[in-house]
Chains A and B, each alone.
Chain A
């Protein structure tokens, strides 16, 4: 868009809007409902549930990033997409490494409840979940 004086709403970023919003609503709500249903019915053991709802959350976030935030590699959107893709490792590493550090600290300082403190091997397995 080089002619800012024309109709501003004809800008390509405005024209990105579309029916994907309805799909994002339906898919987003359905996936959150799926997680809710799995948790309500205790479909898996806690560790399995953690993996299942994390995977559903990742899919839901991806669907919303594509359909709502229009992440794609078109000329108008490519830099937004690059910034988001570079953000994802920061997100995962910050949460993952912080959890890992404190998990080790809690084990070594014996702050875990007594029942668990006596079984370090079980703790290590739970930490992977």
Chain B
């Protein structure tokens, strides 16, 4: 931010675009990824708005409505799984802080396994709903409900895939600058899922009790 340029500005030589000398690659990349995540949050916002609109009883078109499909108890179990996975990734970051490569590998593996636990509960729940005839195409309400559930589930799948990639990169390349900024971006991505889940749990799964 304090960088000054004299004469004409060459995009390739200006601090934002070059790497190495005098500019902070890691900070630039994490800020960029954070802005992307806020864009992703805007996508969640649109889906929450659609769910708020389509959550009315008549949008269930006589089919299963919120009290039948949103199970708060199951969702609370999912909360525990997801928050635990987020905590495990936090421990990986604390190992990274000390340059402890083995600790990073151990805790990312833990975060990954716990995230699989979340997916198992989530998948089991969705399959049970499908079997009882609550499928996305049944009504406008169910379309909005499952779009939100599956969009969130997709984030968890992407996070797990990304963790697998990072395990390979940390093991093979070590804690280089590229690996570190990717670990930081994954931290932002994964910890952001915890924040999104707060809204999922409250406005998707607990909504059944307040409508």
Contacts and interface: CB of A to CB of B under 8 A. Distances in A.
Interface stretch (B6-14, B118-126, B153-161, B193-201): B193-201
Given A17-B96, A28-B194, A87 B210 contact: no
A111 B45 contact: no
Interface centre among A11, A12, A42 (most CB of B within 10 A): A11
A53 B202 contact: yes
In this complex, the interface size class of chain A, counting residues with CB under 8 Å from chain B, is 35 or more
A64 B24 contact: no
In this complex, the interface size class of chain B, counting residues with CB under 8 Å from chain A, is 35 or more
Given A8-B175, A90-B42, A35 B94 contact: no
Interface in B129-177: 175-177
Given A25-B87, A29-B80, A95 B26 contact: no
Contact of A18 (B25, B34, B57, B94): B94
Interface in A50-91: 50, 53-54, 56-57, 60-61, 64-65, 68-69, 76, 79-80, 83-84, 87, 90-91
A94 B209 contact: no
Interface in B87-117: 87, 90-91, 93-94, 96-99
A25 B84 contact: yes
Nearest to A28: B83
Contacts of B180: 8-9, 11, 14
Interface of A: 1-2, 4-5, 7-15, 17-18, 21-22, 24-25, 28-29, 32-33, 35-36, 39-40, 42, 46-47, 49-50, 53-54, 56-57, 60-61, 64-65, 68-69, 76, 79-80, 83-84, 87, 90-91, 94-95, 98-99, 102, 106, 111-113, 129
Interface of B: 19-27, 30-31, 34-35, 38, 41-42, 45-46, 48-50, 52-53, 56-58, 72-73, 76, 79-80, 83-84, 86-87, 90-91, 93-94, 96-99, 175-177, 179-181, 184, 188, 191-192, 194-195, 198-199, 201-203, 206, 209-211
